[in-house]
Structure 1
Amino acid sequence: MRWLLAVWLSVVLLGFGAAAPASTPPVSAGTSAADLTTMFQRFGDTSGNWLGADRTASVPLPDGRTLWLFSDTFLGRPDPDGARPRSAALIHNSAVVQSGDRLELVTGGSPGRPASLVSTDSDDEFHWIGDAAVRSDEVQVLVNRYRRTGPGPLDHALAGTELATLALPTFAAGRTRELPLGDKVSWGSEVMADGGYTYVYGTEAAGQMKFAHLARVRGTDLAGAWEFWTGKAWSSRVEQSSRLLSGVGTSYGVRRVGDRYVLVTHENNLMFSADFVAYTAAAPTGPFEGPHYLFSAPEAGAGHVVYDADLHLDLAQPGSLLVSYNVNDLDEAVAYSDASIYRPRFFSLAWPPRLSKKLPAPPAGVAALPDGAGTASVTWPAEGGLSYRVYRRDVTAGQTHFVRLPGEAANGTFRSEFLTNGNKYEFGVTAVDKRGESALSAVAPMTATVPPPPAPSLVQAEPDNAGKVTLRWAEVPFVQLFKINYRDLTAGSPRRPAGAYPGQSATVGPLRHGHEYEFTVVAVGGGGDSKPSAGVRAKVVVAPPPAPAMPSAQARPDGTVQLSWPAVAPGLGYRIYQRDATTGNADWGPPGLASTTQFRSRPLHHGREYEFVVAAVNDGGEGARSPVVRVRAELAPPGDAPTRLRAEPRGPAVELTWRSRATWHWVFRRDLTAGEQQFTREEVAVQGTEATLNNLVAGHEYELRVAAFNPGGVGPQTDPVRVKVSSALPTNLAVAATGPGSVRLTWRETRTDVLYRVQMRDATAGEQWRTDPYPVDGNKHDAFMLAAGHRYEFRLQVDDLTTGAVGVTVS
């Protein structure tokens, strides 16, 4: 029932009136009220993402579009029968951009998980939207931050006013800065540029009364220095801001029309009024005259509540006022049964009104007496041919203007209800005939005597299957507000408040499954609080939630799978099960957990198919599982080549190093000395970022590359690096005769890990080169049994390389 916060912030004092709506003259320009009402009804039914909202401020944009700003907004689409789904998400503020007859929702968060356009850092705080103005390439929006103080729909408190910005033309939310305005007035009821200043109207909630306040900034920048109207002058001190008039809503409209300033508001001096009224003044600061009764909302006759008002002169037809208002219902079941209730309505009427110069005289001899039961008896001498209207002003509460009371004023008698004990009231009466309404009669004062109300009776507690208990009780005369208290008998916890509720019912919860609770109800009337009702008990039942609809599954390049599914109901957790369909494993295994309607799996095996199901979980346990969704896991090849590839010769090998975020790599090489044109991949993959290449040809120059790979494929290769393998050929080869038929061959080694093959030939005999069958280790070799007098030549072979030849004649 969080939506009730918006209703009751604007509806703490309201009443039913009998004024009929004025007709709109036929004109050719502007937008009609009926067209705007239909536009938002159609958007709520067909958009698929916007179900309804309240506040309804409009901001004309430089490119011809209109920005509509809303506070509490329900998301999703209506059920086939037009009901609002219980699973519909609620965010605390949003925007809708209008271009012609096309509307587009703007929120924060992401498409899969939308959030408030202007968010807070705490779940215990939220922003309700105020009015806004365009400045340069951004929209400056005043937002009021509220803090939750308890579980009930009225348990909240103003925490301050902040300035948010929306970039144009994208409407991306920028930085939100707190303004030094305190927590007494919710600023931003209206933002009006006029005469070199931007005027900002606000609302102060004081008990059961609401008062308008006024501030201004020079120019158009709401981030500039603010001044506050004290009732006589402007002051830079916010604590000196004074009250302009009573009876305004949280949102109301103020605009200059001709030579007068017109303030339009829902009639907030009475509880649950159907009326919208206007006040006029010669200056933005007032004093304001009125009220002028404009329109009586028909939705109140159906049992709904109406609240808030906004002026839309930029969209109005010439010579008329165009006003929006909001509708809701205090019965949660009714509000959810019809999604069309919680959407803005519009009315228009000709302005200024035409007044007759010949009006009946006001009645004389009006008297008001308390009857001791929280009511007042108002009497006057009645005349034939006239009807009468009764007005009242609560002097003690600071009410600045008289308000018309609902009901028939016949035969010169009237009963005024819902008074507050000890408050001083003033009553006046007007006479009405076909020419119009007279001025107000002389005022009749009275001090109310109101006893505390009786304790509510016939209290019933009806648990549902979702962990909530709905309490209902008999009507208590002259009482509109009730406090609920409860205690958990199963857990043995002490009694605690469950919040304050209007009407004759309240829904408390969710509570703990299987626990028994006791509830009491206290009536809050003009004479104070009643005694608690007799306790009533209920055992809470939480049925496991239904199965989610078919999830959607998307394979991601990192080998994970992204799942999303429609919400089953607010506040649920979810369990996500998976199994490998490729291997035929029938075991779903332990579930993953999610507190939202999205989940990302761990990395899976590339190319395998997996199955997923989702089950919602609440205090009653795990519900049925969703239909199975199947998806093939896909792992994209690495997208980047390794960097900083280095190659260093280390004897017969080459050491490679590189940088990479991947784990596995391939090394590619080609032998430039041998004239190879293509790179050849090494047979063994490398784990890590370094490798040693062996089996290279000494003295050859190579080009080397490295690429990362994973099960999805091989990524791009690095640029090649060149390296020359150290030569194993010795130097300083020499040969000398050592005796009859023998010689010694010596050399200087360049490496100590090499075996040499000695080649020789008898040059005198014209022999070809022949290789000694035994490799030689070291730096010398002796040859024997050579032919005396013959010249022999020698050389050394390493791999496929050969030294130059040296010769000696054998003795």
Structure 2
Amino acid sequence: MTDSATGRRATGARRPARWLLALHTAVLLAVGPAVVPDRPTDGHGISAARLTALFDSYGDTSGRWSGADRTASVTLPDGRVLWLFSDTFLGPVQPDGSRPRTAPFINNSAVVQQGGELRETVHGRSAADPASLVPRPAADQFYWIGDATVAGQSLQVLVNRYRRTGSGPLDHALLGTALATFALPALTPTGLRPLPVGSRISWGSEVLHDGDHTYVYGTEGAGEARFAHVARVTGDDLAGPWEFWTGAGWSPSEDVSARLLSGVGTAYGVQRVGGRYVLVTQQNNVVFSPDLVAYTADSPTGPFEGPDYLYRAPENEAGHIVYDADLHPDLARPGRLLISYNVNDLDDAVTYADARVYRPRFVEVAWPRRRSDPADLPPPPADLTAVADGTGHARLAWRAPRADDELRYQVHRRDVTAGQTHFVRLGEPVTNPGYSADYLVNGHDYEFRVTTVSGRGESRPSAVARMTARVPPPAPPAGVRAVAGVAGDVTLRWDPVPYVQLFRVQQRNLTTGQRTWSLVGTHTGTSATVGSLRHAETYEFTVVAVGGGGDSRPSVPVRATAFVAPPPAPTGLTAAPRPDGTIALTWTTLDRGVSYQVHRRDVTGGESWLGQPSPESGAEHIARYLAHDHEYEFTVTAVNSGGAGPMSAPVRARARYTPPTATPTGLRAEPGPGSVELTWRSANSGGWYEVHRRDVTAGEREFTAEEVRVNGTGATVIQLRNGHEYEFAVAAVNQAGAGPLSEPVRVTPQLPTPTGLTATATGAGEVRLSWRSVGAGLFYRVQLRDVTAGEAWRTDPYPVQETDHTAVLLIRDHRYEFRVVVLDGTDEGPPSATVGVIVR
């Protein structure tokens, strides 16, 4: 969520970040009837009330989108309007107007408006398993949306990349700005390009086309202050070279980008009206202001004058938070500024209980403003003084311009040390000439001025009074209590600490013996929820108050034992048979941190649910290795650290294979010793195949399939007759049968011929033989004959595995001849060359 009131963003967590800053006790002066009463759309724009009602209706009834923040708009070339959002709730709203705790939550999305209706929600992945439109770059990083523009047939969206640094709403760090592009009209993602800018400024608060340039406004966060910056490109393509305003000119270096003014939100609007430029923002120079203000200038670069107070959001009176104002000039009616702003709540339970809280609101303001006649305005107060009282307050006093019971006085403040460029109103007008200003920062220099307010308007400001704040450290939070939830979370609550805006929560795991404290996160307000805790382990927590005078001492520690309830049964389970014999399962995604187990049984085969389930991290599964024409039943359980939940309602589907239609190609055969190595190509390289063969030499006319099927695109066929010519073909196969045979190939396997045979007479009627190996896995047979005796060739009865042999019991002084053949258990190969030797 965007926290424009403090100039910060909350975490893009599973639910909206908690808005825990204590509301500033002062509310600001409402000025005049700035809001234009609603009338039906007059053909030139759309009314604010109509837009607010559109998003309420779409959120309640679409079943796809129930709320979001940021609210940028861009008109597409075909007339559609694309609404871009950052943190977004998806899914339906329940009949009582609440959203379920399991509602999908993503970091950015879009909604398409066509004519006067909202028609479509756009995000990543699928409706069953949604993801951000601009996906996360890493597990601990995400993108928030900036403004957008159309360049040619491409939509360009500026997005800011953040990294989480903790679990609190302030625990994130800007990493840079990127340009996401989408092809029109289909909104197909085409690229995500990091821009050559740093992490000081989040660019994309506004994109303004003016003359020959497109101006890009950004926001710099510096402590509690937020400052506007501006860059530009020539033409309308944001991918072109950027120039940055230095305060005196333009530079290609972002390092010299100058601050335009303080008090802007992370999103704000800039629009040209006549010859002037108006910048509209939620008033961010004061904590959680409900006011929308305008600053004006003669140039897109300023200097800006103001603020003009345009509108006070009524949601603040109900305890909600107002932030992120923006302008929508393409949709505005003549003579009006059309402004959107976002609403959230300090307690995230409210955004779940009432889905309408976390949605954009729209308001119209007449512009230009009518100015009062200076002659009718009251005189300003005189002799203003400001004194630090040592307790964190500034005591103001002034002299009334005249005795008049109807006069009131409006106090304005500027934090000089923080770099605030404009004064901001504090509280409501007071009737007495005195005021106590709080929420100061120790050591900061402040300027104050006061105006007189009457029924005719507001006077010029008084002379400025300046003081340096003296603020002591706050007291440690008291009354800290911890209550364990059911999802590995512990909710901490503590008593308010006067004039404190931030709290740091620390924890340690007592079960694991952790001795040092670790920072959980920086939170706002008087409560925080710590998540991702381990089931049945005990934790200890402390809270530190962070005020204008620094950090308090830690609170008294409290303990809680985490509990994780097993998740509910998944819903929406479907099973769809596929032509390859597999069955595709999908179901509705539950919370993050939940995995799934898929159970199946072969109903046709009479199986039970016994067996090892298949684990899945997402909400889909492909059931494989199924029997053809068998009916299967499936159910799914969700699993978290608390264990497995109940099984879902089962579904059934019948596995059916379609015989393959693709013919293998490129069949090659390499002969070996009594074997053939076959390889081929196929579109289904990981499938199963049958090898078919026939012995051409033996006169076989029909192919015979090998008994063993092969997986992949290669096979070795063994136990072939050497010297026989064979023909081979291959067919893809599955449980439904075989596909068409490939073109056949012919090959003749042949056992090798031994070489290098030598014979040496060793005496005693023996001859030592040796030869070179022809390869592993083969045997040899030695053949010999007694030449002197006229003997025919005879074969030694024992096969030889090694490459040497000793012939024995030979007749002395007879000449013998020897040769060697290779055998594979079936056939013998051709004999080696003959060698002769006389036996001694």
Give the partner amino acid of 2:296: T
In the alignment, what sits opposite 1:752?
Answer: none
1:5 aligns with 2:11: yes
| Partner SS for 1:83 | coil
| Partner SS for 1:5 | coil
Q: Is the 8 A contact 2:19 2:525 kept in 1?
A: no
1:514 deviates by 1.1
1:264 aligns with 2:280: yes
Task: Find the aligned partners of 1:234 and 1:146 in 2 and give their Cα distance.
Answer: 28
**Alpha carbons of 1:187 and 1:711: their partners in 2 closer, same or farther (altered >3 Å)?**
same
Of 75, 86, 90, the residue aligned with 1:75 is 90
1:111 deviates by 3.9
Q: Is the 8 A contact 1:11 1:272 kept in 2?
A: no
Of 237, 242, 247, the residue aligned with 1:221 is 237
1:417 aligns with 2:442: no
- The gaps in structure 2 that reach 5 residues or longer are 3-8, 748-840
In the alignment, what sits opposite 1:459?
Answer: 480
1:704 deviates by 10
In the alignment, what sits opposite 2:688?
Answer: 663
1:172 deviates by 1.5
Of 544, 548, 551, the residue aligned with 1:522 is 544
1:27-106 paired onto structure 2 within 5 Å: 28-100=43-115, 101-106=117-122
1:28 deviates by 5.0
Task: Find the aligned partners of 1:343 and 1:659 in 2 and give their Cα distance.
Answer: 56
In the alignment, what sits opposite 1:630?
Answer: 652
Q: Is the 8 A contact 1:558 1:603 kept in 2?
A: no
1:661-740 paired onto structure 2 within 5 Å: 661=685, 662-665=687-690, 687-688=709-710, 707-716=731-740
In the alignment, what sits opposite 1:16?
Answer: 27
Query: What CA deviation, in whole Å up to 9, does each residue of 1:613-643 have, x standing for no partner?
Result: 2111122111112111222122232131222
Task: Find the aligned partners of 1:648 and 1:474 in 2 and give their Cα distance.
Answer: 84
Give the partner amino acid of 1:492: G
In the alignment, what sits opposite 1:535?
Answer: 557
The percentage of counterpart residues that share the same residue type is: 57
In the alignment, what sits opposite 1:430?
Answer: 451
Query: What CA deviation, in whole Å up to 9, does each residue of 1:464-488 have, x standing for no partner?
Result: 1221111111111111211100111
Structure 1 range deviating more: 505-514 or 15-24: 15-24
Query: What CA deviation, in whole Å up to 9, does each residue of 1:244-264 have, x standing for no partner?
Result: 100000000001100100000
Give the partner amino acid of 1:210: R
Structure 1 range deviating more: 185-194 or 387-396: 387-396
In the alignment, what sits opposite 1:781?
Answer: none
What's the TM-score, normalizing by structure 1?
A: 0.82
Q: Is the 8 A contact 1:8 1:154 kept in 2?
A: no
Q: Is the 8 A contact 2:20 2:525 kept in 1?
A: no
Of 406, 418, 443, the residue aligned with 1:385 is 406
Task: Find the aligned partners of 2:153 and 2:298 in 1 and give their Cα distance.
Answer: 33
Q: Is the 8 A contact 1:16 1:272 kept in 2?
A: no
1:602 aligns with 2:608: no
Query: What CA deviation, in whole Å up to 9, does each residue of 1:67-112 have, x standing for no partner?
Result: 1111111221122322222112222112222111132111122344
Of 442, 445, 450, the residue aligned with 2:471 is 450
Query: What CA deviation, in whole Å up to 9, does each residue of 1:551-579 have, x standing for no partner?
Result: 11122233222222223323212222111
1:664 deviates by 3.8
Of 533, 557, 568, the residue aligned with 1:546 is 568
Structure 1 range deviating more: 340-349 or 241-250: 340-349
Q: Is the 8 A contact 1:387 1:431 kept in 2?
A: yes
| Partner SS for 2:51 | helix
In the alignment, what sits opposite 1:367?
Answer: 385
In the alignment, what sits opposite 1:249?
Answer: 265
Q: Is the 8 A contact 2:232 2:243 kept in 1?
A: yes
1:345 aligns with 2:361: yes
| Partner SS for 1:118 | coil
Give the partner amino acid of 2:44: A
| Partner SS for 1:44 | helix
Query: What CA deviation, in whole Å up to 9, does each residue of 1:638-685 have, x standing for no partner?
Result: 131222468999xxxx9999655443448699x9xxxxxxx9986877
Q: Is the 8 A contact 1:10 1:249 kept in 2?
A: no
1:397 deviates by 0.7
| Partner SS for 2:554 | coil
| Partner SS for 2:191 | coil
1:371 deviates by 2.4
Give the partner amino acid of 2:505: I
Q: Is the 8 A contact 1:664 1:685 kept in 2?
A: no
1:561 aligns with 2:583: yes
1:716 deviates by 4.4
1:274-423 paired onto structure 2 within 5 Å: 274-357=290-373, 358-380=376-398, 381=400, 383-423=404-444
**Alpha carbons of 1:658 and 1:229: their partners in 2 closer, same or farther (altered >3 Å)?**
closer
**Alpha carbons of 1:365 and 1:178: their partners in 2 closer, same or farther (altered >3 Å)?**
same
1:218 deviates by 1.6
1:22 deviates by 2.0
Task: Find the aligned partners of 2:222 and 2:589 in 1 and give their Cα distance.
Answer: 39
1:116 deviates by 1.6
Give the partner amino acid of 2:11: L
Q: Is the 8 A contact 1:472 1:504 kept in 2?
A: yes
Give the partner amino acid of 1:287: P
**Alpha carbons of 1:648 and 1:260: their partners in 2 closer, same or farther (altered >3 Å)?**
closer
Q: Is the 8 A contact 2:480 2:494 kept in 1?
A: yes
Task: Find the aligned partners of 2:254 and 2:728 in 1 and give their Cα distance.
Answer: 74
Structure 1 range deviating more: 238-247 or 144-153: 144-153
Q: Is the 8 A contact 1:86 1:570 kept in 2?
A: no
**Alpha carbons of 1:658 and 1:504: their partners in 2 closer, same or farther (altered >3 Å)?**
closer
Task: Find the aligned partners of 1:658 and 1:323 in 2 and give their Cα distance.
Answer: 66
How many pairs are equivalent?
711
- The gaps in structure 1 that reach 5 residues or longer are 672-678, 724-811
Q: Is the 8 A contact 1:11 1:249 kept in 2?
A: no
Q: Is the 8 A contact 2:18 2:345 kept in 1?
A: no
Query: What CA deviation, in whole Å up to 9, does each residue of 1:773-796 have, x standing for no partner?
Result: xxxxxxxxxxxxxxxxxxxxxxxx
1:593 deviates by 1.1
Radius of gyration: which is bigger? 1
Structure 1 range deviating more: 265-274 or 594-603: 594-603
1:451 deviates by 0.5
Give the partner amino acid of 2:383: G
**Alpha carbons of 1:646 and 1:423: their partners in 2 closer, same or farther (altered >3 Å)?**
closer
In the alignment, what sits opposite 1:144?
Answer: 160
Query: What CA deviation, in whole Å up to 9, does each residue of 1:39-90 have, x standing for no partner?
Result: 1112212222212111111111111111111111122112232222211222
Task: Flag the structure with more relative contact order, 1 or 2, with Cα contacts below 8 A and sequence separation at least 6.
Answer: 2
| Partner SS for 2:56 | helix
**Alpha carbons of 1:597 and 1:646: their partners in 2 closer, same or farther (altered >3 Å)?**
closer
Q: Is the 8 A contact 1:490 1:515 kept in 2?
A: yes
In the alignment, what sits opposite 2:635?
Answer: 613
1:722 deviates by 12
Query: What CA deviation, in whole Å up to 9, does each residue of 1:369-390 have, x standing for no partner?
Result: 2222212222233632122221
**Alpha carbons of 1:658 and 1:449: their partners in 2 closer, same or farther (altered >3 Å)?**
closer
Query: What CA deviation, in whole Å up to 9, does each residue of 1:107-129 have, x standing for no partner?
Result: 12234422222224311111111
